[in-house]
Amino acid sequence: MSDIEKYVDKAMFAAAPMASTTPKVYLLSMTPDPLGANAAAVRMYKGIPTYSLSDISDQERIDYWEQSQLTELKAPHEFINLHFFLEGVDRSFTHQAVRQRTAVYAQESLRFAVKDARLIDECSRPPSLDDPSRSQSIRNDLEDAWGKALDQIEESYKFLIANGVPAEDARGLLPGAVLTRYNYATNLRNLASEAGKRLCIQAQFHWREAFLGMREAVRNYEPTGDTGFDQRWQFEMIADSNVFSPVCYQVGHCGFKAEFDRGCTIRERVDAYEAHGVSSGSWDPEMRKAFLTDPKAGFVS
């Protein structure tokens, strides 16, 4: 079948296959001297003008970064910009992602990108299908129901495309679980705000996978071009900070206590720490480690 017969709209194209069915994060660009940019802004609070980042010592970079963690004046973090590329996230994820209004997005559009691959390979798979508390027989039935539904959607979707229906109309059949990819640009202040919410147990586990991917992408980032000095330690310092922590670790108390908020497996411990005046930097290291290493740790239904 020719492309003209297959794609009624010449702007349509075959979507590139997904490299992964779980979130993968790539940091395309970042402010090359992030702690220098932060220091320049903090120095202005003290009336110290900065005419070149080369005038700032590495010790000043560290000191001003540490001081900026101890204040609610987070404007200096807005001078640190990041541009990520995320792949293997589903459309339900991106529907939530764009609620952050302090960011820029460029997403693969299903108006033109045609899902030619097997749909079951182009959708995120809910982990509840593998819930060990269910019998193997029930898990098999759930797996069968999930697969049959996707196969039926795929058959109908491809039939419509092959018979002259534009992708922008046929895409209405595709589920929220269909995978996508997008560019995401924001600054560190707003990234930390989103991380606080999305790393909380309140959020769907895919968010923790994505933000842990962002954290590692920052840790391993190497600026392109000859900067004249090794700055990798700066990115490691940012990755290990409270930027990539649930909001309770950022502010020292639970921020989700409305009647409509979901349950949390660590809220009682957080409340106890707050009641006894224990700062979040001294909280249970194993609890923090779980948040920063296991995307599914601590989740409740």
81-90: strand order across its sheet: 24-30, 81-90, 179-187, 104-107
Phi, psi of 187, rounded to the nearest 5 degrees: -110, 170
| Residue of 91, 171, 181, 198 marked catalytic | 198
Q: Is 198 a catalytic residue?
A: yes
Instruction: Select from 206, 205, 182, 178 the least CA-distant residue to 121.
Output: 178
- Contact (Cβ atoms closer than 8 angstroms) between residue 30 and residue 80: yes
Phi, psi of 152, rounded to the nearest 5 degrees: -65, -40
- Output the DSSP codes for 245-290: S-HHHHHSS----STTSPP-SSHHHHHHHHHTT--GGGS-HHHHHH
Cβ burial, residue 106 (10 Å; 0-12/13-18/19+): exposed
Tokens of 171: 């895409």
SS3 192: helix
Instruction: Select from 186, 182, 4 the least CA-distant residue to 100.
Output: 186
- Contact (Cβ atoms closer than 8 angstroms) between residue 214 and residue 200: no
Measured between its terminal Cα atoms, the distance across the chain in Å is 48
Reported as type and span, the H/E element at residue 94 is helix 91-97
The residues carrying an active-site annotation are 198
